[in-house]
Amino acid sequence: MATESQQLYYKKLQSILKELPWYVKEYIDHKQRKLSTASLLNYCLDYKIFFNWIVSEQLFSGPIKDIPLSLLETLKAQQVEGFLYSLKYELNNKDITINRKLSALKSLFNYLQNIAENSDLEPYIHRNVMAKIEFNELNLNLETIANKMEGKILLGDEYENFRKFVAQDYGELVKDNKKLWNFYQVNRERDTAIISFILGSGLRLSEVVNLNIDDIDYVKNSARVIRKGNKEQYVYFSKIAMDDLEEYLKIRESRYEVEKQNKALFVAAAVGPKGKSRRLTPRSIEKLVEKYAKAFGKPSLSVHKLRHSFATRYHTEINDVPKLRRQLGHSSIQTTMIYTHIRNQDLKIAVDQMDIPEPEPEGKTDE
């Protein structure tokens, strides 16, 4: 059953598909079983930028949805390089962002040339210009990435101090501001549970947003999550996170006036006299993390940096890259290897506070 955020992404996806050529919709339909709706939406946003560029360069006159396959087949490599040039110097995209957009285009063109076929069993296009275009070289190695990350995550005592700040100290900071103090008192348990849950599991923002009450195993301290590619997996979280979650659950139903049919784990209060409590949105969680991070004195913190903070501690305490890869849901072990390059003497302080149950043998978990 689709969650509220998945339904929202689906509606946005269907809306933007109406603006794009028919063969893009066919490609998206082909990829729906393999990619999340959020990923497909990002693909379509990238395609819209590309097709709008085609019109702006006067390579086609008319709505972008009418751009024919024949035009794609006759694009020159120099023209595509011009598009990538505009991404960098006109839209200020970084090389890694340009690579992502190019990857989306390569995937579409590959489908049109090697997978899709017309009624005569011929491919949609015979010439694939994207196959000639190379990705930007990214000079950052794992150690460089790790060093850049190191100053933006929680290390040593900061890990527990930030959780404690959300649970208690922020209230002292804003006690003279009645509006901020009241808002904090209403959401203190919920916000603490969210921060603690990310710090104690390393879940992605979308995975936290989509959690339902029934997804939590209160005996094994694990949560059922839908990872990238719509893959179901059970992920462990810390005992501290469970304690904070249970404190929140004691007040969730009464304080937020949650209706029984609302199974969302993390909810927002109803808005207006006839409003209903609702699942917290990704942006709402991002904003609450930003609020506490700024007040804590570490404004660089984000949901993703909290995930990095968890991964760094996990690697330090357990030192098992394959297990960490599974916990984080990485498709490539190279991504997980970043955390083996973060070097900071304060990390040893975190060991005694680390409280993550040893995962069961792989065969006993639900992949």
Question: Residue 186: which residues within 8 A CB-CB, separation 6 or more?
Answer: 255, 269
Is residue 255 among the annotated active site residues?
no
Separation between Cα atoms, residue 203 and residue 266, nearest integer Å: 14
Is residue 330 among the annotated active site residues?
yes
How does DSSP assign 301-312, residue by residue? --HHHHHHHHHH
303-318 and 282-296 helices, crossing angle to 10°: 70
Q: What are the b/e assignments for 328-363, b being 16+ CB within 10 Å?
A: bbbeeeeebbbbbbbebeebebbeeebebeebeeee
Separation between Cα atoms, residue 362 and residue 174, nearest integer Å: 46
pLDDT, residue 348, reads 38
Quote the mean pLDDT of the chain: 84
Q: Can you tell me the mean pLDDT for 255-271? A: 90
Higher pLDDT, 33 or 78: 78
pLDDT, residue 122, reads 94
pTM: 0.58
Is residue 326 among the annotated active site residues?
no
Superfamily of domain 144-364 in the CATH hierarchy = Intergrase catalytic core (1.10.443.10)
pLDDT more than 90, % of the chain: 54
For residue 361, pLDDT over 50 is answered with no
Question: Residue 352: which residues within 8 A CB-CB, separation 6 or more?
Answer: none
Please give the single-letter amino acid code of residue 62: G
204, 252, 315, 326: which is the annotated catalytic residue? Answer: 204
Contact (Cβ atoms closer than 8 angstroms) between residue 209 and residue 36:
no
Is residue 313 among the annotated active site residues?
no
Kindly indicate the confidence band of residue 364, based on its pLDDT and cuts at 50, 70 and 90: very low
65, 278, 304, 341: which is the annotated catalytic residue? Answer: 304
Residue 76's SS3 state is: coil
307, 313, 315, 323: which is the annotated catalytic residue? Answer: 307
25, 152, 228, 341: which is the annotated catalytic residue? Answer: 228
Q: Roughly how many angstroms between the first and final C-alpha of the chain, as a whole number?
A: 18
- Would you kindly state where each structural domain of the chain is located, as residue ranges? 4-139, 144-364
Kindly indicate the confidence band of residue 173, based on its pLDDT and cuts at 50, 70 and 90: very high
